[in-house]
């Protein structure tokens, strides 16, 4: 899992987590909410990265806490809780689309994982491009833009 009960309490306070837990019908509601949050995160991260991750980035701990908190507000989440949840899901979608980079470090504290795809380099008009779809003889038949 990406976060623990202690992480939730550090971020939102022990009193709030205890109140949310008291409203639940199941005794292990916090544990289940954290598990659900981890599975939701995995469903997005697995698109761009190989699981399990070598180390959990602190960003995923934050995401897991916000998602778990949202899930604990099972009846009526506050506007702030709902906005945080939506923001985290949008962040996860950007990771899956490779528009956001997840800062994963290995045991030697070196970056691992895939980098977001870079946009293709552009070339000035009139330059010769080898390796494209058209050969030079076809490109030479096209009109000049000068």
Consecutive H or E run containing 138: helix 136-140
Phi-psi region of 131 (alpha: psi -120 to 50; beta: other; left: phi over 0): left
pLDDT tens sequence for the chain (146 residues): 899 999 999 999 999 999 999 988 888 999 999 999 999 999 999 988 888 887 888 899 999 999 999 999 977 899 999 999 999 999 999 999 988 888 876 666 666 654 444 444 565 666 555 555 666 677 777 777 76
CA 91 to chain centre: 5
Distance CA 98, CA 47 (A): 9
Residue pair 70/81 in contact by the 8 Å Cβ criterion: yes
Beta bridge partners of 112: 104
């Amino acid at each position: 899992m990406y976060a623990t009960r202690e992480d939730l309490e550090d971020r939102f306070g022990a009193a709030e987590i205890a109140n949310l837990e008291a409203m639940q019908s199941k005794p292990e509601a916090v544990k289940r909410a954290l598990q659900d949050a981890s599975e939701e995160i995995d469903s997005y991260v697995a698109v761009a990265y190989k699981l399990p991750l070598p180390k959990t980035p602190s960003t995923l701990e934050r995401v897991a806490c916000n998602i778990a908190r949202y899930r604990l507000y099972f009846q009526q989440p506050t506007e702030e809780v709902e906005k945080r949840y939506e923001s985290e899901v949008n962040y996860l979608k950007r990771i899956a689309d490779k528009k956001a980079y997840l800062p994963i470090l290995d045991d030697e504290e070196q970056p691992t994982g895939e980098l977001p795809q870079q946009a293709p380099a552009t070339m000035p008009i009139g330059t010769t491009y080898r390796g494209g779809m058209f050969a030079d003889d076809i490109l030479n038949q096209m009109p000049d833009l000068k």
